[in-house]
Structure 1
Amino acid sequence: MSAASLAAAIALVGSATPAFADGTPNDTARAVSVVEKASGTSDVASSTSSAGAAAQATTSTEAGRITVTAPASSAGQVKAAAADGTSLGLQLENAKSVTGVKAGAGTVVYSGVARSTDLAVQPTTDGGARTLVTLKDSAASTDQRFALNLPEGALVIPDADGGYHLSRTTQGGQSVMVGAIEAPWAKDANGKPVATSYKLEGNTLTQHIETNKNTAFPVVADPKITWGNVTGTAYFTKSETKNISIYGATAAISTTMLPPPLNALYAINASLVTAKASEARSDGYCLKVKFAAGIFIPGVYSNGCD
C-alpha cells in the first residue's frame, strides 16, 4: 500500500462514528425505524426507566390507572397491570435474552431475539401494550408463539374480528370484559397488509404470518394487549337473554350484579337492552352489554354463548 493510500485509509477510519463501531446502535436505529414506520407513534405513551424494566408507562383511564412495563430483557414479560393489582403478561417464547433499548418515540427494541427476528414493545396511551415482532427476512419463523400469564379466573373469549376478549366473573355471577387481545395485523416493508391470524392453545397464543416469495421484508406483526382499562362488557347466557327479552331488563337482572358504571346505565337504558335481548333470542344469540368511552352499547354475541 502506498503512503497516500494508507493515509486515505486512516482518514476514512478516523471519520467513522466510534459509537457505531460494533453495529449495535445501527441495529437499534434500524429496528426502531422499521417498527415505528409500521405502527405509527401518535399513541405511544411517555415512559420512564425503572428497576428491572427497560420502560414503564402509567396511564389514567376511565377504569383507573394502568401501568405497562417493558421488561429489561426479551426473556421477561410485557405486563399490563391494573390498579387493583391484577395484571396480564405476554412473553415471546424461546427468545434469547437480549437487553432492551428505548429509542425513537419511546419504542423499546430487543434486537436479534431469534433467527432474523427482532422484538419491540410500545406502551400506548390507552393503557395497552403493543408487542411487535419484526421478521427481517424469509429465514424468520412465520409462527410467533407468546405465553399468556392470565390472572386467576380470567377467561379468553374469541371475538368477531380475530382477537379475544378477556373476562372475569363478578361477585354477581356476570362475565365482565376487563381486557383484550386485539385482532392481529402485519405489514410488509411497503406498508401493505400481510395476512395473519391467531391460534390459542391453552395459554399459548400463536400469531401466524403468511409470507411468500412476493413478500417485501422486513415484516412487522403486532399482538396488542389491554388489561383493566375496559370499563365493562357484561355477557349474558341464553337463559338470561331469554328472561330479559320476556320480563324486561330491570326485572330479569339486578343492577347490583353489574360493575359501575354499567349498573346505573343498565337501568337507564333498560328498554334498549330488552329490545336487543329479544333480537338476540330470535336469532339464537346471546346478549352482551358494553360501556366504553361514555357510550352504552347493547349487542349480541355467539362465540361461547350457551
Structure 2
Amino acid sequence: MTIDGKEVSLDLPNKELESLGLDEYSTSPSGASIAVTNEGGGAFRSLIHIPNLESNGEFEFSFSNDMTLSSLPDGGVTVRDNKGDILGTLDAPWAIDATGASVKTWYEIRQSTIVQHVAPTSSTQFPVVADPFWIPFLGIMGGHLTRHALTQMAKRKITKELVEHVIKTGRGSKGNGNTTVFNGNGIRVIVDNVSGNVITVTKG
C-alpha cells in the first residue's frame, strides 16, 4: 500500500494472499480462515473465522522492519515510519462467538509485528469471529481529526466540540510513541505530538 507517497509493506497471516479484493484462505494448519475486504482508501478488514476450540488463536500482521508500533489506550495500535510520522492504525480488536458474546482478544507487539490473540473458553459457542481493521492515516479530516478518531467518536457519540474542550481544559500526560494524552469529562483524547492531529478518542 502507498500512503502519502510512502510505501508500506504488510504481511497477513498467510503470505499466499495475492489481492485485497476479497480472498478467503485457510491459515493452515490452524483450521481458521480469513477473508480480507478492501474498504477503499487504503483501509481493509481481515475477518477471522475460528471454527473450534482446537483452532489456532494467534494471528500475525507484520509490517516493514523500519516501522515503529505503539499501543493505544483503547487497545489499538499506531504504526509510524522511521521519521516518526503516523502511517495508520489498527483499530482496537474485538471477537464474538456464535451467540454474540464477547471473546477475550488483544494485540501483542513484537517489534514490527502485531499478533492478535483470541482466547476462547470451554463455554464459548463456535464459530468465533474476529475483525482486525487497518485504517490508513489520511491527513487532516474534520479539523485535525484522523479517520480513526472520527470512527471512534461516532461509535461513542462524542462531538468535535467535546474533544476540543478536553484538549483545552483536560489534564495532559505523556503517551506512548510521541503522543500526549488528555483526560477530562470522562473522555480520553490522544494527540500526535508531531502533527498535532487527534489520533483516537475513547471513554474512560
Report the TM-score range of the alignment, normalised by the length of the smaller protein.
Answer: 0.5 to 0.7
1:91 match: 12
Structure (1/2) with the larger helix percentage: 1
Does the CA contact (< 8 Å) of 1:276 and 1:299 recur in 2?
A: no
> How far did 1:113 drift?
3.4
Does the CA contact (< 8 Å) of 2:47 and 2:130 recur in 1?
A: yes
Structure (1/2) with the larger strand percentage: 2
Does the CA contact (< 8 Å) of 2:95 and 2:105 recur in 1?
A: yes
> How far did 1:84 drift?
0.5
Aligned length: 164
Candidates 128, 146, 150, aligned match of 2:64: 150
Cα displacement string for residues 252-289 of structure 1 (whole angstroms, at most 9, x for unaligned residues): xxxxxxxxxxxxxxxxxxxx79x749942xx5666364
Distance, in Å, in 1 between the alignment partners of 2:95 and 2:126 is 11
| 1:217–1:166 Cα change, 3 Å | same
1:161 aligns with 2:108: no
2:159 match: none
1:208 match: 117
> How far did 1:120 drift?
1.1
Greater Rg by CA: 1
* 2:36 counterpart letter in structure 1: V
TM-score by length of 1: 0.44
> How far did 1:140 drift?
0.2
Distance, in Å, in 2 between the alignment partners of 1:168 and 1:112 is 28
| 1:284–1:85 Cα change, 3 Å | closer
| 1:188–1:228 Cα change, 3 Å | same
Distance, in Å, in 1 between the alignment partners of 2:113 and 2:174 is 31
**Unaligned ranges ≥5, structure 1:** 1-79, 234-271, 291-295, 301-306
Does the CA contact (< 8 Å) of 1:167 and 1:177 recur in 2?
A: yes
**Unaligned ranges ≥5, structure 2:** 145-163, 181-189
* 2:62 counterpart letter in structure 1: L
TM-score by length of 2: 0.63
> How far did 1:85 drift?
4.0
Distance, in Å, in 1 between the alignment partners of 2:199 and 2:61 is 32
Cα displacement string for residues 162-218 of structure 1 (whole angstroms, at most 9, x for unaligned residues): 111122465xxxx43220111111111222221111111122322111201111111
The higher relative CO (CA closer than 8 Å, separation ≥ 6) is in: 2
1:1-306 → structure 2 map (5 Å cutoff) = 80-92=1-13, 95=14, 97=16, 107-111=22-26, 113-125=28-40, 127-144=42-59, 146-150=60-64, 152=66, 154-168=67-81, 175-231=84-140, 276=168, 279-280=171-172, 287=180, 289=191, 297=198
Does the CA contact (< 8 Å) of 1:100 and 1:110 recur in 2?
A: no
* 1:197 counterpart letter in structure 2: W
> In angstroms, what is the RMSD of aligned CA positions?
3.7
